[in-house]
């Protein structure tokens, strides 16, 4: 049946309209990421955060077929990198491997810190954590945790402990231990763990809380001994070691952590894409094995769970900071 003139004209107009719409429609957005992504790390190369960050960047690059570049911007316990990242566009191309000290400690202990961990950043995924070990020189008179605490409670005791510096996680962890066990112990801050380990081995200080990547090589070399673990679980860390939070101080756990962050206001789609990728990477057997060699333990989390974790950790350390009256000018 032949179409009448009015129907033909209507069909022609419809086709022309569709053609105009198609020609003027914007091109479909490119899949993320379509260019290199930079992950800033607020610490020097070679440390625990740097090692985790480089492994994560390598695996993200392999997954997306795009470069994930690590940039170290050390300074002020990660605050230098944090201030840089928070001011960048929230487009997913500038990220940061945040740390417990940068996000949950420094804002509460150091004057002049302008950022807020929740307000100024987008939590993407909790990546990994590592427990501290309470270690003493190999020839220390303290044979176990109880010996150390008993001596520290004596009226004339002169215990001393080393840390990576005032406000470092291992400083606050030791202050927490002091508060809960009522021991007398003098804080001896160093510029980093390396200097602290040197004096600890030499017996110039009595004990320190150190990460496995720092302490375990010295333990294997017979230069240090482990008295206890500050792990949150007996499944983490060196097996057979007394876990302080399981026996002596319920709830005690000193585990520095790392998590992937971006500037505040990142698109939810990009956050979801990165979160899924990080969780899959952290569950990969090869990645797990590499992390365990560093005494690091992978996590799987949603962005919301990571946000809550930051808030919980911040509340814990803020309380310890206030109770110990610690301030960095």
Q: What is the pLDDT of residues 157-180, one digit of tens each?
A: 889 999 988 888 999 999 999 999
Average pLDDT of every residue of the chain: 90
Range with the poorest average pLDDT among 33-37, 106-110, 125-129, 139-143: 106-110
- Phi then psi for residue 96, to 5 deg, are -145, 140
- Per CATH, the homologous superfamily of domain 37-129+256-324 is Bordetella uptake gene, domain 1 (3.40.190.150)
- For residue 17, pLDDT over 50 is answered with no
Range with the poorest average pLDDT among 61-65, 114-118, 131-135, 325-329: 325-329
Share of the chain above pLDDT 90, in %: 77
Confidence of residue 11 (pLDDT cuts 50, 70, 90): very low
Residue 260 · residue 124 · CB < 8 Å: yes
Alpha helices for 182-302 (secondary structure H) = 193-201, 212-220, 244-247, 268-282, 285-293
Omega before 33 within 30 of 0, i.e. cis = yes
Residue 72 · residue 290 · CB < 8 Å: no
- For residue 16, pLDDT over 50 is answered with no
Answer yes or no: same fold for 37-129+256-324 and 132-247.
Answer: yes
- For residue 265, pLDDT over 70 is answered with yes
The per-residue pLDDT for 15 is: 42
Interhelix angle 285-293/48-64, rounded to 10 degrees, is 170
Residue pLDDT, tens place only, 117-148: 999 999 999 999 999 999 999 999 999 999 99
65 DSSP 8-state letter: T
Share of the chain above pLDDT 70, in %: 91
The per-residue pLDDT for 29 is: 55
Strands (E), 42-171: 68-72, 94-99, 121-129, 132-137, 159-163
The per-residue pLDDT for 23 is: 40
Residue 44 · residue 51 · CB < 8 Å: no
Give 161's strand partners: 187, 207
Residue pLDDT, tens place only, 232-259: 988 888 889 999 999 889 999 999 999 9
Structure tokens given for 147: 């010996």
- Domain map of the chain by residue range? 37-129+256-324, 132-247
Confidence of residue 21 (pLDDT cuts 50, 70, 90): very low
Residue pLDDT, tens place only, 186-229: 999 998 888 999 999 999 999 999 999 899 999 999 999 999 99
User: From CA 23, how far away is CA 155, in angstroms rounded?
Assistant: 85
Closest CA to 207 of 251, 163, 250: 163
Structure tokens given for 98: 């945040």
pTM for the structure as a whole: 0.85
Structure tokens given for 82: 């944090």
The per-residue pLDDT for 224 is: 98
The CATH code that applies to domain 132-247 is 3.40.190.10
């Amino acid at each position: 049946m032949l179409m009448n003139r009015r129907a033909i004209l209507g069909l022609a107009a419809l086709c022309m309209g569709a053609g105009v719409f198609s020609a003027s429609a914007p091109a479909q957005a490119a899949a993320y990421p379509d260019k290199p992504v930079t992950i800033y790390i607020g610490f020097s190369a070679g440390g625990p955060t740097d090692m985790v960050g480089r492994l994560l960047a390598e695996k993200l690059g392999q997954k997306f077929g795009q470069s994930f570049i690590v940039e170290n911007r050390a300074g002020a316990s990660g605050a230098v990198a944090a201030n840089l990242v928070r001011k960048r566009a929230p487009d997913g191309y500038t990220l940061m491997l945040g740390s417990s000290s940068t996000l949950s400690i420094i804002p509460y202990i150091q004057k002049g810190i302008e950022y807020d961990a929740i307000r100024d950043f987008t939590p993407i995924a909790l990546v990994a954590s590592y427990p501290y070990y309470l270690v003493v020189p190999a020839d220390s008179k303290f044979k176990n945790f109880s010996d150390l605490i008993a001596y520290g409670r004596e009226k004339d005791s002169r215990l001393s402990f080393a840390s990576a510096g005032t406000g470092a996680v291992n400083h606050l962890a030791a202050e927490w231990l002091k508060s809960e066990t009522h021991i007398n112990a003098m804080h001896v801050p160093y510029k980093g763990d390396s200097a602290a380990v040197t004096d600890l081995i030499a017996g110039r200080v009595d004990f320190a809380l150190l990460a496995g990547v720092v302490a375990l090589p010295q333990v294997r070399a017979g230069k240090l001994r482990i008295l206890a673990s500050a792990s949150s679980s007996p499944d983490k860390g060196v097996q057979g070691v007394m876990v302080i939070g399981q026996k002596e101080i319920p709830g005690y756990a000193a585990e520095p952590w790392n998590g992937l962050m971006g500037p505040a206001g990142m698109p939810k789609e990009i956050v979801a894409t990165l979160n899924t990728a990080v969780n899959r990477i952290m569950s990969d057997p090869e990645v797990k094995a590499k992390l365990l060699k560093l005494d690091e333990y992978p996590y799987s989390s949603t962005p919301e769970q990571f946000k809550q974790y930051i808030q919980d950790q911040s509340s814990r350390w803020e309380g310890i900071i206030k109770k110990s009256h610690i301030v960095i000018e």
